[in-house]
Structure 1
């Protein structure tokens, strides 16, 4: 499950194992990866119906009160795009070539009309009414095109923890981010290192 607090960056992830934590992957397209994925990631699947996709939209970095018209076909298309993004992100993080099939899925989604932004009566950024699932997924896919062909493509990384597969783009100035979140995998690494040092000293 994902959720976003309005005054805190990142998405609040609530894995089945417990221990909610906040995770900012640094890009809209990578936020979609928090909803599950192919293979062993299927156990984290949350996109079961249109309502679930709308909850992800509300939790994502998309600004404004976006409520696209979504049906079961749109949910299936979102899962297909997400799985392709997983393949591309993992390949990039490990320095491998992207699967042309995954690239084709993203390019096809990006070719559709995207969400149309507008300035609301109060001066805020809003979305034109009548948004569709296709427009939503096109916007996500175009964000992926920007990421994987842009200056931060070499900073797409997988969490440094051996048991975490979350992917993020390191947008920090020094470019030294290692963990999905310090409050989760970063702290766990510190605890393991601390225990290892004490164990070595006791020998």
Structure 2
């Protein structure tokens, strides 16, 4: 939702970056939405993971999800601003990635399904492995923060030219372009 209460589509570009929309460290804790295990299950249902995942999440896994999310948030912000990645956050991601991830299977109908027994820990391993791929892959240098003056959303620029500046054009992009247009008109009068 925008500041005006209007819905808009925000695509952060990867599974691990989607987790950042659930809150964050420091001042971003006020946006926390992972209060109980069911909240993490709801996040999965809205995520880019294929549908049909029956997930069991414990309180411990929920706390681990917030810890992983906060580490990813700080790593993405550091990458977006050209700062070195911090060992403490890398250790959190690497520890989660070292665990067994979610597993998919093929049903007799040819449809994709999830192996039974999916847990919060396996979900976090999957998210952490996605982060390892992102931070070590071709899009590592395309992790960005929205260019609007009052938006801190982080995303991966997966556009072909690699020039995405806004969390969403219909939200911050339009607002910032209108602000720049007004400034030019005032300056030109």
Q: Select the residue among 18, 40, 44 that pairs with 1:53.
A: 40
The reply on whether 1:157 has 2:157 as its aligned counterpart is no
1:201 corresponds in structure 2 to 188
**Contact persistence 1:85–1:106 (CA under 8 A):** yes
- 1:80-91 equivalences under 5 Å are 80-91=67-78
The reply on whether 1:71 has 2:63 as its aligned counterpart is no
Return 119-128 or 51-60, whichever deviates more.
Answer: 119-128
Q: Select the residue among 99, 113, 134 that pairs with 1:147.
A: 134
The reply on whether 1:121 has 2:108 as its aligned counterpart is yes
Report the Cα distance in structure 1 between the residues aligned to 2:4 and 2:159, rounded to whole angstroms: 29
1:44 corresponds in structure 2 to 31
2:166 corresponds in structure 1 to 179
Change (3 A) 1:75 1:16: farther
**Contact persistence 1:16–1:44 (CA under 8 A):** no
Q: Secondary structure at the match of 2:117?
A: coil
- 1:85-100 equivalences under 5 Å are 85-100=72-87
Aligned CA RMSD, in angstroms, stands at: 1.2
Return 128-137 or 14-23, whichever deviates more.
Answer: 14-23
Q: Secondary structure at the match of 2:55?
A: coil
Moved over 6 A (4+): none
Report the Cα distance in structure 2 between the residues aligned to 1:199 and 1:134, rounded to whole angstroms: 55
The gaps in structure 2 that reach 5 residues or longer are: none
- Give the TM-score of the pair, scaled to structure 2: 0.96
Change (3 A) 1:67 1:87: same
Q: Secondary structure at the match of 1:98?
A: coil
Q: Select the residue among 53, 75, 92 that pairs with 1:105.
A: 92
- Number of residue pairs aligned between Structure 1 and Structure 2: 189
Q: Secondary structure at the match of 1:168?
A: strand
- Give the TM-score of the pair, scaled to structure 1: 0.90
The gaps in structure 1 that reach 5 residues or longer are: 1-13
Report the Cα distance in structure 2 between the residues aligned to 1:194 and 1:95, rounded to whole angstroms: 29
Report the Cα distance in structure 2 between the residues aligned to 1:17 and 1:192, rounded to whole angstroms: 16
